[in-house]
Amino acid sequence: DAGVTQSPTHLIKTRGQHVTLRCSPISGHKSVSWYQQVLGQGPQFIFQYYEKEERGRGNFPDRFSARQFPNYSSELNVNALLLGDSALYLCASSKGRQLNYGYTFGSGTRLTVV
């Protein structure tokens, strides 16, 4: 079975631009969560989606948005990029809504804002 796949793996954007990151969960997993990991820090929770509905939101500005599609894949969108948005963006999927059902991270998308 394929693991959690994220695309693209690396991305360079200019301040003020918009970016879309994509995540495909493990087959059979219905929950997708997004985390931001700034260099040298632990991941910070951005969103959780389960059954195509937002189930949780972290302390991030409205420039960050996400959605989940009928096939349970997900997109994370960030508008008006700032230099501080440079980070590794991680997607995690799990079978159910709860964390202890096979919660698995993808390899992430490295976003650099210049």
Which residue ranges make up the site for other proteins (CB under 8 A)? Answer: 4, 31, 33, 35, 40-45, 48, 55-56, 58-59, 90, 97-100, 103-108
Residue among 23 and 81 whose Cβ is closer to other proteins: 23
Q: Least CB distance from residue 26 to other proteins, whole Å?
A: 13
Minimum distance of other proteins from residue 20's CB (angstroms): 20
Question: In the complex with other proteins, which residue's Cβ is closer, 14 or 53?
Answer: 53
Q: To the nearest whole angstrom, how small is the minimum distance from the Cβ of residue 68 to other proteins?
A: 14
Tell me the closest approach of the beta carbon of residue 38 to other proteins, in angstroms.
Answer: 11
- Which C-beta is closer to other proteins: that of 80 or that of 99? 99
Q: Which of 81, 82, 80, 99 is nearest to 33 (CA)?
A: 99
C-alpha–C-alpha distance, residues 79 and 3, integer Å: 28
Helix (H) or strand (E) holding 48: strand 44-50
What is the Cα–Cα distance from 14 to 57, expressed in whole angstroms? 26
CA-wise closest residue to 13 among 88, 109, 83, 67: 83
Tokens of 82: 């700032």
